[in-house]
Chains A and B, each alone.
Chain A
Amino acid sequence: MAVKININPFIAYALKRFGIMMLTFSVALFLIFILPRMIPGNPLASTIFRLTQGGITSPEQLKATERMLLETFKLYEPLHIQFVDFISKLIHGDLGTSILFYPLSVADLIALYLPWTLLLMIPAVSLSWFIGNYIGVVAAMNRNKFVDKVVLTIFMILQGVPPYVLGMYLILLLAVYMPIFPTGGGWPPGMVPRLSVEFVLAYLKHYILPFLSIFISSLGGWGLSMRSIAVQELASDYMEYTIRGVGLSQKKVVNYLFKCSALPQIVGLAIVLGWSVAGSVLTEIVFGYPGIGMIFWRAINAQDYPLIQGIFIIIIATLLLANYISELLFAYIDPRARYAYVGVQ
């Protein structure tokens, strides 16, 4: 009759998903490794060629760059040796040295810029998760009424507007025509990041617009998916019985509804947070916000391949990890899913 949850199937599931994650990561690493080397005209070789032809002024720097590029990519070695070298360096946390920001290492650059990206994305995404989901539940409770229709329309439009487009309009409106906020950057030029009231205030002023553009544009997605989940939940036998059969109070019903519907959304949140780095690239570009996205953009425009490669690896690693965590989280949090994985009665 009653079943005690046995932990073993959960671990089996965790291991299986871990295997798939590692397989995917290997495939991604392989792609990151092989693509620049396979594409006709070898872009790496041509970059090195371009560099040796000029572009970098001091001969000393040129030599160093050339040596470093060869060191990073080892193009003179056979492919399989290159691959082994690539992997062993990666395991030691060596992502090479940036061309653009020479002599900074890629790992250092990422450590320097990643916090700013996270500082932007985590609060914006989390807040929009809460508010979007809450509005979604309220819309579902009032489904097909006026409130619901208004919310649906607004959310649908929001969903169609990418954060960077919204960002462009926010700049036009609130920085150019009504110069309340600065048009871009992370802090005023000349200021150095440190923990002082002056800096924090200046930073916040630069922070608000990119924050808003990510916050507002993610509202729609959360709200719409939450609404449809909650509407399905409302039609379920148990919500029907809870509301009309035993007559639970409205407040508790919203609570229950949120609890039942939010579980899949928590997984979504984990995934989107994992997306932070990838998802903020365009917004950072539009706002000139000094995060990973910004240096990624500069790396691409300067064809700084070690940096491009390093950021790719970081993005994919965080994504896969977030995805893995969210899968486990889902299996662990949702008693229904946990039950499904356990699979016995």
Chain B
Amino acid sequence: MNSLAIGEIMSILDVRNFRAYYFTKAGTVKAVDGVNLSIDKKTIIGIVGESGCGKSTLAKALSFNVEPPLKIVKGDIVIDGIKINDMTTDEIRRKILGIKVALIPQSAMNALVPTVKIRSFIKDVLKEKTGYTTLEIFELAVKRFKELNLPIEALDMYPFELSGGMRQRVLIAIATLLNPSLLIADEPTSALDVSTQKMVLETLYDIYRRGLVKSIIFISHDIATVRQIVDEIVVMYAGKFVEKGSTEEMINEPLHPYSKGLIFSILTPELIVRERVRKAKEVLLKGEPPSLINPPSGCRFHPRCPYAMDICRREEPPMIEVERNRFVSCWLYVKR
């Protein structure tokens, strides 16, 4: 996964051996503990895992939402060739947010200020970042709303006058007005009912298809939702990535025992051979995700893993490429 493929565009995102910890009184919570992620082509990547696996922390870190007690301990974030770590909060605010990276937060339903009309919000956000005139900003907004099939009238409304799904879609439109390279969507659909979910996913995909953003990182606990739009799936467990592959491969043939449990537990059984379901149930996520203050030695999944071997308890498995662009971090697949 840390191989830099040669693509026609330069690296959109490059994160290496990335670690972000919470320093609390109870101890250091190693929420993201050595993660490599690079995106060098137009793609939608889904990061999935149980709650508490560190995926939201990763989202926070990638969108520079790092405030004590959370601290980035190690690893650079490079976006479009720009190293973000050295920038001040103010520089990030002015030059990166909304321009290089945009965020759709977990609580997107309530993410718009209730006392400000959509129109003035857009104006306030864009004015400083672009230096456009008010008129230019509105023209841009109207054009974008039309493109994404959003009602123009929404511009003159307060957020609470819009339905939950519409609020979410408007937010996506606002966040990507300046065509950022990367869009990070942190559980954007978790609070919505199924039909609204579908509309929001469509808007997200629409934005991607039209090239308004180059890549999307879609973070969710819900594989069933994620697989509808993503090209690749990364499975995260206890602060680390354990497996990565194309959506199809991951759904049909998950390798890591944890991925098997996670994926088979959620997807409809008809898709999968019954035998596999039975096997998956063995793996199936007995117990809780481990404490990230004192993570288990060796492979972090070993206390829950039915295939755990001696070495799993002692040594951390390396991330190996089993096929082209197919990575897994598990001793079962290490040829010795």
Contacts and interface: CB of A to CB of B under 8 A. Distances in A.
Given A248-B124, A249-B128, A336 B93 contact: no
Interface of A is mostly: helix
Contacts of B93: 247, 249
Interface stretch (A47-55, A173-181, A238-246): A238-246
B154 interface: yes
B211 interface: no
B65 A245 contact: yes
Sorting the interface of chain A by its residue count into under 10, 10 to 19, 20 to 34 or 35 or more gives 20 to 34
Contacts of B111: 237-238, 240-241, 245
Interface in A63-100: none
B158 interface: yes
Interface string B77-111: 00000000000000011101110001101010111
Contact of B115 (A3, A248, A259): A259
A289 to B, nearest CB: 39
A250 B94 CA distance: 11
B162 A2 contact: yes
Interface string B33-72: 0000000000000000000000000000001110100000
Interface in B195-219: none
A334 B103 CA distance: 28
B102 to A, nearest CB: 8
Given A247-B97, A256-B116, A2 B154 contact: yes
B97 A1 contact: no
Given A2-B151, A244-B65, A238 B124 contact: no
Interface string A312-345: 0000000000000000000000111001000001
Given A2-B161, A237-B107, A247 B114 contact: no
Nearest to B65: A244
B157 interface: yes
A240 B162 CA distance: 20
A153 interface: no
A68 B3 CA distance: 102
A3 B162 CA distance: 7
Nearest to B92: A247
A242 B97 CA distance: 11
Nearest to A242: B113
A1 B113 contact: no
A345 B109 CA distance: 15
A256 B113 contact: yes
A1 B65 contact: no
Nearest to A233: B113
Most buried by B among A2, A238, A245: A245
Nearest to B106: A237
Interface in A244-280: 244-249, 252, 256, 259-260, 263
Nearest to A334: B115
A240 B105 contact: yes
Interface residues of B, number: 39
Nearest to B67: A244
Contact of B110 (A238, A259, A335): A238
Contacts of A232: none
A42 interface: no
Contact of A237 (B94, B105, B153, B175): B105
B98 A246 contact: yes
A249 B131 CA distance: 13
A158 to B, nearest CB: 28
B169 to A, nearest CB: 10
A345 B163 contact: yes
B113 A260 contact: yes
B229 interface: no
A336 B102 CA distance: 27
B160 A248 contact: no
Nearest to B174: A246
Nearest to B125: A246
B184 to A, nearest CB: 10
A236 interface: yes
B145 to A, nearest CB: 13
A322 to B, nearest CB: 23
Contacts of B112: 238, 241
A2 B158 CA distance: 10
B293 to A, nearest CB: 24
B166 interface: yes
A331 to B, nearest CB: 14
A245 B153 CA distance: 24
B141 to A, nearest CB: 14
Interface in B169-191: 174-175
Contact of B113 (A3, A239, A249): A239
Contact of A336 (B92, B124, B153, B160): B160
A260 B105 contact: no
8 contacts: A1-B163, A2-B157, A241-B103, A244-B64, A245-B105, A248-B124, A256-B115, A336-B115
Given A244-B67, A263-B115, A335-B160, 9 more contacts: A1-B163, A2-B161, A3-B161, A5-B161, A237-B111, A244-B63, A244-B64, A245-B105, A252-B128
The 8 residue pairs across chains A and B that have the minimum distance between CB atoms: A247-B97, A247-B93, A241-B111, A237-B107, A237-B110, A238-B113, A335-B158, A1-B163
